[in-house]
Amino acid sequence: MTATGLAPYCDEQLFIPALAARDRDQVLVEMVDRLVESGRVRAREVILHTVRERERIWPTAIGKGVAIPHGRSLVVPELTIVFARLADGVDFGAEDGDLVRLVFLILAPYHEKANRYLPALGKVVELVARDETRERLLKVNHWSEFAALIGEAS
Amino acid sequence: MESPLLKLIALQDIDMMIQEAKDPEQTGAQEELGFKLNNLDALITSRRHLAEQLDQRTLILYERMRKRYGRAVVPVEGQVCLGCFMGLPTKNVGVSGSRDDRVETCENCGRILYWL
């Protein structure tokens, strides 16, 4: 999967350029709410429960101000990525102690025909590992900028 | 979360997570990406608390189906049970969301149904 390959799972409705949240849980709530508002998922409480539980046992802050909450659930029809740039840094318990400013929420059904979940997760990790990409993500304000960035990277 | 069906799905999501956490291949792949498993015991405790919120009959049905098929709850798409891929009879015709408060099973395979 190329980074361009991430584009089908991202959407303008799932792009949040300046999310104001006081803590990690509020970030998750706001991002799940956006997913529900987009009409892609109905069972808000199930998704929130699953994402929270996973975050508790399998923390998703990978350092350098990035968190990638992810998981599988029966109520998710297809692989989907919600992106949020946080207005202020939020503590996700990262090992490097950095506050998180960039969050990718990746959700998928238990089994997909093409099994794209882990490759997509790996691609996002690879993407944000680049200093230049993180710096650009920290400045994106419009969907077109984000889409271009996802499309350009390879 | 009040609906027994949604509680069952949350329970199944946790069971899938526990399964993933116990699979060295899966945990290894996650660890390579930078995600370290922290506290599996907490998840097992959480599963127990969730299971306690279900009535005995529903829980027994779930456990029986889980033992038989691995996954007890399956999605329905286009009036087809995605567990056994059999079309559902007309009486099961439903609208997404309107059936979340009911625990219904596939007449063919017995799995619990969730309308996506």
Report the Cα–Cα distance between both ends of chain A, in Å, rounded. 9
Cα(A148)–Cα(A15) distance, rounded to whole angstroms?
Answer: 13
**Domains parsed from chain B with CATH numbers:** 4-115 (1.10.287.1490)
- The mean pLDDT value for A136-141 works out to 95
Share of chain B above pLDDT 70, in %: 92
Token pair 């889409």: residue? A147
Residue of A nearest to B47 (CA): A53
- Predicted local distance difference test score (pLDDT) of residue A128: 95
Q: What is the pLDDT of residues B44-99, one digit of tens each?
A: 999 999 999 999 999 999 999 999 999 999 999 888 999 999 998 866 665 555 67
- Looking at 3.40.30.10, 3.40.930.10, 3.40.50.10140, 3.40.640.10, the CATH number of the domain A9-152 comes to 3.40.930.10
pLDDT at A152 over 90: no
Contacts across the A-B interface (CB distance below 8 Å): 83
What is the ipTM, given to two decimal places? Answer: 0.90
- Predicted local distance difference test score (pLDDT) of residue A3: 46
State whether residue B88 sits within 8 Å of chain A by CB. Answer: no
Residues of chain A neighbouring B39 (CB-CB closer than 8 A): 56-57
pTM, entire model: 0.93
Could you tell me the residue ranges of all domains in chain A? 9-152
